Amino acid sequence: MKSKIYGVLALFLLAGCTASKPGAFERVDEDLVSHTVQYRYHPQKVDKDALKLDVTNYCHAQGFDLVESLPPQDSHIPGLTTVWYQCNFALKS
């Protein structure tokens, strides 16, 4: 019983951490091979402009000039959403 209580408490603390960060999002994972980065955010509180700026800056720092969003998914933490972004090169003619 105690482990369930601690588990639920940990989930609420993690969810609260995301919501209390500036912009209500955080970078949680990256895959250097596929040039992707994952963010977790609170859908009702997220500052989407700040999130887009953060992921754009991340991709530019990696040498890329284009960011593509993959479909958002529910996080394993209740009430939060996760989304992967892929850093790419823009096609130039």
Question: Given its phi and psi angles, is residue 35 left (phi above 0), alpha (psi -120 to 50 degrees) or beta?
Answer: left
Helix, strand, coil percentages (3-state) for the chain, rounded to 5, are 40, 30, 30
Tens digit of each residue's pLDDT (9 = 90 or more) over 34-63:
999 999 999 999 999 999 999 999 999 999
pTM for this structure?
0.74
Pairing of strands 66-69, 25-31: unpaired
The gap from C-alpha 11 to its chain's centroid, in whole angstroms, comes to: 17
Question: How many Cα atoms occupy the beta-carbon half-sphere of 76 within 13 Å?
Answer: 3
Does the pLDDT at position 22 exceed 80? no
Q: What's the full length of the chain, in residues?
A: 93
